[in-house]
Amino acid sequence: MLEERGGRGVRMGDIAESAGISRQAVYLHFPSRTELLVAATRHLDDVLDVDARLAPSRTATSGARRLELFIECWGNYIPDIYGVAKALLLAQSNDEAAAAAWQDRMMAMRDGCRAAIEALHADGTLAGDWKPQTATDALWTMLLVPNWENLTIQCGWSTRQYVRWMKTMAKRAFVDDAG
């Protein structure tokens, strides 16, 4: 439902109805809407097997390749989780816990960014005057969901276009030309 409706306007009652149980019964399984959303993201991670998807990136031979593969993985992952992600993002306005949950999730993604940047750093191919931490900040920000949202949903780019652009930008920004 979240996917269909872009994460908007899905109420506890709707979820209950679509599950064929009463609204109250949902609360027997999840203490709050936010917790339900968090559980949904965890479930999605499980079903989509994030770890397996990230494996190629982790085993890449060079930092540059690792960066590329990470972006590809993440870029193809966003469309699959967008509905739930957006719902969590929207819930932030009312619910402090939702903000924390989203924050948490984004920090996990940041770890992937840091790993890629560290790999470049280890190779000695981290461009220019970047410090690993600042570069991580920058890569992390580039890959944030709202950017994907704007390019695809708003501008009509395909995920393929999105991934290609992000790769190009990231290489130009972070990978030393000499490397």
Partner DNA sequence: GGTGTCAATTGACACTGTGTAAAGTTTGAA
Partner DNA sequence: TTCAAACTTTACACAGTGTCAATTGACACC
Using CB under 8 A, list all residues that contact a copy of itself.
8, 90-94, 134, 137-138, 140-142, 144, 146-147, 150-151, 155, 157, 165, 168-169, 172-173
Q: How far is CA 61 from CA 58, 137, 142, in A?
A: 9, 23, 24
Q: How far is CA 21 from CA 15, 44, 122, in A?
A: 9, 22, 54
Among DNA, a copy of itself, none, partner that 155 touches (CB below 5 to 8 angstroms by kind): a copy of itself
Which amino acid belongs to residue 41? T
Closest approach, Cβ 89 to a copy of itself, in A, equals: 9
| Residue 157 engages DNA in binding (rule: CB under 7 A) | no
Stretch that binds DNA, among 5-13, 40-48, 75-83, 159-167 (CB under 7 A): 5-13
Place of tokens 């397996």: 52
Q: Which of 2, 7, 33, 73 binds DNA (CB under 7 A)?
A: 33
Please count the other Cβ atoms lying within 10 Å of the Cβ belonging to residue 91: 21
| Residue 57 engages DNA in binding (rule: CB under 7 A) | no
Closest approach, Cβ 71 to DNA, in A, equals: 34
Pick between residue 6 and residue 56 the one whose CB is nearest to a copy of itself: 6
Give the H/E segment covering residue 107.
Answer: helix 96-123
Closest approach, Cβ 122 to a copy of itself, in A, equals: 22
The two tokens of residue 55 are 């494996």
Pick between residue 11 and residue 131 the one whose CB is nearest to DNA: 11
Binding mask 78-117 for DNA (x = CB under 7 A): -----------------x----------------------
What phi and psi, each to the nearest 5 degrees, are found at residue 126? -75, 120
DSSP state of 158: -
Is residue 154 within 8 A of residue 63, CB to CB? The reply is no
